[in-house]
Amino acid sequence: MPKKRFIGGIAWVVAMLAGCGAATASPATRAPLPSEPTMINYVDPSVVHGLTIRTLSTGERGGRRMHASYPAVAGAPRLTDRLRDTVEDELHRFTWRKTPGDTAVAPEFNVDWLLAAASEEVLGVRLRVGRSMDAGWRESRTTLWYDRTDRRVLDSAGLIRDDAAMTTLVRLVGQEMTRRGTPVRLGSLRLDPLRLDPAMFDSLVFNPRGDLVVEFDDGQVGSRATGRVAVAVPSAVSEPLLSPTGLRARRAVVSSARPSGTSEQDMLDASTDKPPARSSRAGEVDCARARCVALTYDDGPGPGTGRLLDVLGRYGARATFFPLGSGASARPDLLRRMRDEGHLVANHTWSHRDLTMLTTLMVTSQLDRAQHAIAQAIGQAPTLMRPPYGGLDGRVADVAGGLGMSVVRWNVNADDREDPAPRAIAERVVARTGPGSIVLMHDVHDATVDAAPEILRRLTEAGYTFVTVPELYGRRAMRPGWIYDSGAAATSPERLSASYPGAMSP
């Protein structure tokens, strides 16, 4: 988890090994040790040179909502390929699974990621795959490791020395589950914990003091409602079981643990109030007289975002960017460039979940985590948010309003998610745009970036001026919690909640 971002970043569990409770920080690690040993610190992705984010799928197709991203690291193409293949396999299984005929909500698929370790010797990427179909939300976890010494990609089992060591690890974990009475399931079968399947051990990570943490998927151990379950095996017991790559991974985590006292200061920095985000060029255009249009870009930053900023700069155009919090934490340099070049940076949640399917607490976490990440990157607090998939009800609008954000949707959709033809994207945008339009596009797609020059050229020739969303409203300040679909349309949260009976209740 990037330091300075704390809300929702630590995973809690219900199972741990005996004797692994709170401990005093050792002189070797000088790290503040959590009382729960299966808590994991994650690496700030912005410190990893050459890291970009790839988005495999985003949007809604066939009544299913899908978003999947993973990191690509320069110099580690085998890791990038393996991550892509893993995400593609999960997406394929979700896409081809039959949808229940009586489902009342759209099935959803979501993949996000965190760095479990990063050093000159090793990289660890933890994928969290979430899906809902007919039995509520379920998550699985897979951690892949890249050994930079011999340029190999390994499953988590590769952290363990050999089959005999894996057998010992399985026995240790099974003994603890037996002691706690924790049930174990493989599909519909209930198993003796001492007969755990090693294939379940596909997410092995380390806590800051070097204990080996074994994570399980939802429903593998305990009920689905339990969520993430993990067991921490003390370093003194687990270290002899580790392979050379495992030892490198453990060393990377322990050596990068925060020095004592740093986390408190980080929390203070993260909670410091920031001024409201505002374009540095706001006020240059009077949209009551000019033909204004607001170009907006979701889901980034992507590999082509820098190139898009170049194009916008050549035309003197400003846009509103709605990055994900996970992307903001990985590429704060691009967000700062957006700010410096007169664009506006807004909030698109942390990981692109359908907010209408989340509890109020989870909605708040999705927005607040992204808010912290963006504010730390640009030194300003976003005042706008856009719900993923446009999914909105009165409750979500109420949470956004409570966090000081207006809700922005759109009235022009570029339909650029699946279209590989830049010219077709440009044709749709130009044909659908009118004065006061809010145009939805995605800077994670190369075709959208390629379409930008023609969109800007043709709309400029038609007399349009490109401004950020708040400028469409001139002196009419946008109100927190209100919903804005175009320069001419705004909906109060009270009116929205009337369309969703009971939506404003917790």
Can you name the residues that pair with 147 across neighbouring β-strands?
122, 152
Kindly state whether residues 450 and 328 are assigned to the same domain.
Answer: yes
> With contact defined as beta carbons under 8 Å apart, do 374 and 353 qualify?
no
How many whole angstroms separate alpha carbon 503 and alpha carbon 506? 8
Considering 202, 211, 218, 298, which one is annotated as catalytic? 298
pLDDT tens-digit map of 290-341: 999 999 999 999 999 999 999 999 999 999 999 999 999 999 999 999 999 9
Q: Which of 257, 179, 174, 171 is nearest to 211 (CA)?
A: 257
Q: Which of 323, 506, 479 is nearest to 407 (CA)?
A: 479
Kindly state whether residues 349 and 466 are assigned to the same domain.
Answer: yes
Kindly state whether residues 197 and 304 are assigned to the same domain.
Answer: no
> With contact defined as beta carbons under 8 Å apart, do 260 and 267 qualify?
no
Does residue 9 lie within any of the structural domains? no
Task: Name, in order, each residue with C-beta under 8 angstroms of 287's C-beta and a sequence gap of 6 or more.
Answer: 436, 465, 467, 471, 472, 473, 474, 487
Q: How confident is the model at residue 29 (pLDDT cuts 50, 70, 90)?
A: very low
Does residue 276 lie within any of the structural domains? no
Does residue 349 lie within any of the structural domains? yes
Does residue 199 lie within any of the structural domains? yes
Q: Which of 306, 336, 321, 326 is nearest to 372 (CA)?
A: 326
Whichever domain contains 204, its CATH number is: 3.30.565.40
Domain that holds residue 306: 291-499
Kindly state whether residues 206 and 147 are assigned to the same domain.
Answer: yes
**More confident: 117 or 62:** 117
How many whole angstroms separate alpha carbon 379 and alpha carbon 373? 10
What whole-number percentage of the chain has pLDDT above 70?
82
Kindly state whether residues 373 and 225 are assigned to the same domain.
Answer: no
Summary mean pLDDT of the chain = 85
Average pLDDT over residues 251-279: 68
**Secondary structure letter of residue 105 according to DSSP:** S
Kindly state whether residues 303 and 435 are assigned to the same domain.
Answer: yes
Q: Please report how many Cα atoms fall inside a 13 Å half-sphere around the Cα of residue 404, on the Cβ side.
A: 12
* pLDDT attached to residue 496: 63
Q: How confident is the model at residue 61 (pLDDT cuts 50, 70, 90)?
A: confident
Does residue 2 lie within any of the structural domains? no
Does residue 22 lie within any of the structural domains? no
* pLDDT attached to residue 291: 95
End residue of a domain, out of 238, 260, 282: 260
Does residue 285 lie within any of the structural domains? no
* pLDDT attached to residue 177: 80
Residue 298 falls in the annotated catalytic set? yes
Kindly state whether residues 487 and 366 are assigned to the same domain.
Answer: yes
Question: What's the domain count of the chain?
Answer: 2
Residue 155 falls in the annotated catalytic set? no
Helix spans in 256-345 (H): 262-271, 305-314, 325-330, 332-340
* pLDDT attached to residue 247: 98
Kindly state whether residues 226 and 108 are assigned to the same domain.
Answer: yes
Kindly state whether residues 213 and 141 are assigned to the same domain.
Answer: yes
Considering 442, 443, 445, 450, which one is annotated as catalytic? 442
Kindly state whether residues 169 and 230 are assigned to the same domain.
Answer: yes
Indicate the pairing of strand 406-408 with strand 384-385: parallel
The answer to whether the predicted template modeling score (pTM) of the entire model surpasses 0.85 is yes
Kindly state whether residues 173 and 303 are assigned to the same domain.
Answer: no
Does residue 352 lie within any of the structural domains? yes
How many whole angstroms separate alpha carbon 157 and alpha carbon 143? 10
pLDDT tens-digit map of 419-466: 789 999 999 999 999 999 999 999 999 999 999 999 999 999 999 999
Kindly state whether residues 95 and 176 are assigned to the same domain.
Answer: yes
End residue of a domain, out of 209, 242, 260: 260
Helix (H) / strand (E) containing 484: strand 483-486
Task: Name, in order, each residue with C-beta under 8 angstroms of 399's C-beta and a sequence gap of 6 or more.
Answer: 360, 363, 364, 367
pLDDT tens-digit map of 194-226: 667 888 899 999 999 999 999 999 888 876 667
Whichever domain contains 331, its CATH number is: 3.20.20.370
**Secondary structure letter of residue 180 according to DSSP:** H
Q: Which of 365, 366, 403, 412 is nearest to 384 (CA)?
A: 403
Degrees to nearest 5, angle at CA 451 with 440 and 409 = 5
* pLDDT attached to residue 417: 82
**Secondary structure letter of residue 283 according to DSSP:** T
Q: Given a cut of 60, is residue 4 above it in pLDDT?
A: no
